[in-house]
Structure 1
Amino acid sequence: MNVQLFIPCFVDQLFPETAFNMVKVLEKLGCNVSYNANQTCCGQPAFNAGYWDESRAVATKFLKDFHTFDYIVAPSGSCTGFVRNYYGKLFDNSAAHNDVKLLRKQLYEFTEFLTEVLHVSDLGATLNGVATYHDSCGALRECHIKQGPRNLLSKVKGLELTEMNDCETCCGFGGTFAVKYEPISIGMGEQKVHNAIATGADYLISTDLSCLMHLDGYIKKHDLNIKTMHIADVLASGW
């Protein structure tokens, strides 16, 4: 099975090890993985800030970079959800309609690809400790991903999965929301972190590094005893 990687810009710049771990998992499952080094941003930051023309320019390049019949897999529910749900608005009544339709069909969030396309649950991973899972808004609301990541985590040897209160509540990041509404964003992050800590978890896991980056900032500032991990890093552990 041929798989092209869509690595969001912040993953590429700040968390490249997660991208490499995603490759590690996909190759273990027999996928032929390729990466188009010309790829850049999907256009979501500009779109969310109201700059639709600028977003469309970036998205047009994205359509060209990912004009393929291969599967496209990304370690981000947020970016996957944006392309899947909002490219139709950006390119409404345009010549790019069929390209958008093809892209939406081929694009999957990482855990979604594992569970819905490859139909796997046990990757042979090992991670000792207690974990709790944060439903990112992008994965849950934009991609309707809920049980798949939990099924994958339940098969990790040595890992006990426990649910925190308000696991579906936004962490407060929201891209530019964290900048424009900093006090609200911090308050939401604080609530999420303390709900996670209340479970006794050693690890706070999610599909989205944008959420985890926000939460980890609060954790480190307050020297709290919990570690954030992307699910790809968990599934690549111990083998």
Structure 2
Amino acid sequence: MTDERAPDQDALIDRILHLWRADAETLPSEPRLAELTGASRNSVREALIRLEERGYVHRTQGARTSPNRRLPGVGRRIDEQFDHSLSIRAAGYEPTLEVVAADRFALAPDGARYDDLPDGTEVLRTRKMWRVDGAPYALAEDLVPLARDVELDPRRPVFDLAETANGIRVAWETMWIDAIRLDAKRAKILDAETGTPVIEMTYCGYGADDRIGYWSREVQLPAPAGLRNALIRRVRS
């Protein structure tokens, strides 16, 4: 979903999240939240709607807003933007990022391609591996179309690279998830056995105008506790 919130709305959501993490059964009322945050009641109401959509709170008409107490322990949320290094550290582990390769070239017809970019598109391709407490965890290949002649740090998250390389502030990300067996090339990088069962995730990040900011393909070895991929969704009775 395109995020058109003003920076002050983002800050308001962060302040409410701080209260959400406090040890309380319910959040304060809307008037009290407005008083605590210095925001208008309309702004608070809009922030609570966004937080309910994201699964942080449950709102019932005529009752107080209840925090989702199970959320902190579910692992990494794949329905929200994330950076591996930050996710790993937040889960209590030490992250290590290794840039395996980074090159620029023009895409050519190839049956093994996972993107739908036009042939001939100039891209930055990066291959990056993350370790968790020194153990291989995830390997990602990113394709970022190049529309600007700029220096790019391949260590940066792919959504940052896209904004610098082609000016697209990614608003949406579509993801496909497959269970596969690890091929020999990626198995070697991950120090794993060829044929090891892994999760493969393919992403397409694009802007509000549908222009593509990047394509990514990632494989993950079995995740340690706290890094399991989780999706939070609301259920209506």
TM-score by length of 1: 0.26
More RCO (CA 8 Å, sep 6+): 1
TM-score by length of 2: 0.26
Larger fraction in strand: 2
